[in-house]
């Protein structure tokens, strides 16, 4: 028998139960069966079925998948999707400093300007990931049918914006899943017109669109609200794919003080001149009834949002110090505030590091969203028994109209 076991004629109820376990536990059939056997072998009657050491060492993903990383920055998406079993086939980022970090972390220099990328040169992939910059659109609206030239197609509405390039790639490559991230005020930008055009564009391309604003504070000691947009190709998933955004877990209790360096270099303490300026600026604004200019962080709590402009004066997150002027976060502390582990080396100047972390996505949030996407993939595959995703297409004997796409 060697290491193989072949089981024929599995009774239907057992087969169904196995499928349910696969879906609920996000494990492959092999992983489920090995867990069951492992449990029986060890006789751990009281332990939950999938908490065995074997299950714990198995990769957390259910379906191996491929993805592309657009507006890649320093690869926040890539860290999370790779952890879920994804393989990156293409990356695109034009900033040379972000490229430097990306190359150091992933061993590849991303392609430059997305506007020069031909969709035909991008490999087929299962998931398109992009944290695209937010730009205004005309609010003319997008229609699926460009009938008699009256309605606007997405090309009219988004021409000249970077989202247009994303939409063109989606149209050409038809990835089964699209994951986008942006600042929360994408929803209110341009009086709601920007979001309206983005949503209509994705729907006009025949994708089912889900969106949710999620605060990363459940994962990292930072208040950071971002919009996450997940789209499923209707041709594959139908009109009602089983998908829900993750509920943020109960806060893990991580406090800002726990991510601070023990002995930060003196250089991060504000000079008397800058500290005086920030206080006077805040006082002027307070007198006018406006908010404070700087944010003194609560070390026992969580910080404000780290922005890409943090490098300018660090005023949005100042760390109080006994008997001294406050200081700004060090680049390493900024990385930790975003959930990037310490083994990610910082290979650029402080200025560039602050910009990169301030622009990035929190990988732990993408990981949580990605797990739910994996469930949807598992649901799709379970629905079409024996199906598998190959090059972004569902290959199965029973899929009907989509099988020959």
> Which residues of the chain form contacts with ligand SAM (CB under 6 A)?
71, 73-74, 76-77, 92-95, 98, 113-115, 131, 133, 162, 359-361
Given the complex with ligand SAM, which of 133 and 249 has the nearer CB atom? 133
* Nearest residue (beta carbon) to ligand SAM: 73
Given the complex with ligand SAM, which of 142 and 365 has the nearer CB atom? 365
CB of 211 to ligand SAM, least distance (A): 17
Which residues on neighbouring strands pair with residue 232, listed in sequence order?
177, 208
Instruction: Report the distance separating Cα 125 and Cα 228, nearest Å.
Output: 20
In 3D space, the residue among 179, 187, 68, 89 whose CA is nearest the CA of residue 131 turns out to be: 179
Given the complex with ligand SAM, which of 113 and 280 has the nearer CB atom? 113
Instruction: Report the distance separating Cα 98 and Cα 112, nearest Å.
Output: 11
In 3D space, the residue among 403, 395, 393, 346 whose CA is nearest the CA of residue 125 turns out to be: 393
Given the complex with ligand SAM, which of 49 and 183 has the nearer CB atom? 183
CB of 381 to ligand SAM, least distance (A): 28
In 3D space, the residue among 376, 130, 134, 369 whose CA is nearest the CA of residue 233 turns out to be: 376
> Is 88 in the active site?
no
Radius of gyration of the chain (CA): 24
Given the complex with ligand SAM, which of 341 and 400 has the nearer CB atom? 341
CB of 314 to ligand SAM, least distance (A): 20
CB of 93 to ligand SAM, least distance (A): 5
Burial per residue of 358-368, b for 16 or more beta-carbon CB atoms within 10 angstroms, e otherwise: bbbbbbbbbbb
Instruction: Report the distance separating Cα 358 and Cα 226, nearest Å.
Output: 12
Could you identify the residue written with the tokens 């609560």?
A: 298
Name every residue whose Cβ is closer than 8 Å to that of residue 252 and which is 6 or more positions away in sequence. 218, 219
Q: What share of the chain is helix, strand, coil (3-state, %, to 5)?
A: 45, 15, 40
CB of 294 to ligand SAM, least distance (A): 24
Q: Which of 88, 92, 134, 388 is catalytic?
A: 134
Q: Which two tokens stand for residue 159?
A: 């021409």
CB of 181 to ligand SAM, least distance (A): 6
Q: Which two tokens stand for residue 221?
A: 């000691």
What does the longest C-alpha to C-alpha distance in the chain come to? 82
Given the complex with ligand SAM, which of 31 and 181 has the nearer CB atom? 181
Given the complex with ligand SAM, which of 114 and 227 has the nearer CB atom? 114
Given the complex with ligand SAM, which of 166 and 270 has the nearer CB atom? 166
Q: Which two tokens stand for residue 217?
A: 């504070």
CB–CB of 333/292 below 8 Å?
Answer: no
Pairing of strands 388-390, 393-395: antiparallel
CB of 130 to ligand SAM, least distance (A): 8
In 3D space, the residue among 245, 163, 247 whose CA is nearest the CA of residue 212 turns out to be: 245
CB of 72 to ligand SAM, least distance (A): 6
Coil/strand/helix, residue 120: helix
- The residues carrying an active-site annotation are 134
């Amino acid at each position: 028998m060697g290491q193989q076991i072949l089981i024929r004629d599995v009774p239907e109820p057992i087969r169904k139960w196995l499928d349910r376990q696969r879906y609920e536990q996000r494990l492959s059939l092999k992983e489920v069966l090995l867990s069951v056997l492992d449990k029986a072998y060890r006789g751990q009657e009281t332990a939950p079925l999938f908490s065995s050491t074997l299950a714990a060492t198995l990769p957390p993903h259910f379906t191996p998948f491929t993805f592309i990383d657009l507006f890649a920055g320093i690869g926040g998406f890539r860290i999370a999707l790779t952890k879920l079993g994804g393989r990156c086939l293409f990356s695109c980022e034009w900033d040379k400093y972000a490229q430097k970090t990306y190359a150091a972390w992933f061993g590849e220099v991303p392609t430059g300007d997305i506007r020069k990328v031909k969709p035909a040169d991008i490999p087929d992939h299962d998931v398109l990931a992009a944290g695209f910059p937010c730009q205004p659109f005309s609010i003319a609206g997008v229609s699926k049918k460009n009938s008699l030239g009256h309605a606007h197609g997405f090309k009219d509405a988004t021409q000249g914006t970077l989202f247009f390039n994303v939409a063109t790639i989606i149209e050409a490559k038809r990835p089964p899943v699209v994951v986008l991230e942006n600042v929360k005020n994408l929803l209110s930008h341009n009086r709601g017109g920007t979001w309206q055009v983005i949503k209509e564009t994705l729907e006009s391309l025949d994708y089912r669109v889900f969106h949710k604003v999620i605060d990363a504070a459940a994962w990292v000691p930072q208040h950071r609200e971002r919009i996450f947009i997940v789209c499923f190709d209707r041709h594959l998933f139908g009109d009602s794919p089983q998908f829900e955004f993750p509920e943020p877990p109960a806060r893990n209790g991580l406090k800002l003080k726990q991510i601070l360096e023990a002995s930060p270099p003196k250089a991060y303490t504000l000079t008397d001149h800058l500290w005086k300026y920030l206080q006077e600026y805040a006082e002027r604004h307070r007198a006018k009834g406006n908010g404070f200019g700087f944010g003194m962080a609560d070390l026992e709590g969580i910080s404000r949002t780290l922005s890409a402009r943090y490098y300018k004066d660090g005023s949005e997150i100042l760390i109080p110090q006994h008997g001294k002027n406050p200081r700004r976060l060090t680049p390493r502390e900024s990385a930790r505030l975003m959930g990037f582990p310490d083994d990610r080396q910082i290979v650029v100047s402080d200025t560039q590091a602050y910009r990169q972390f301030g622009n990035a996505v929190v990988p732990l949030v993408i990981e949580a969203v990605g797990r739910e996407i994996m469930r949807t993939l598992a649901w799709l595959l379970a629905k079409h028994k024996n199906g598998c995703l190959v090059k972004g297409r569902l290959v199965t004997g029973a899929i009907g109209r989509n099988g020959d796409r």
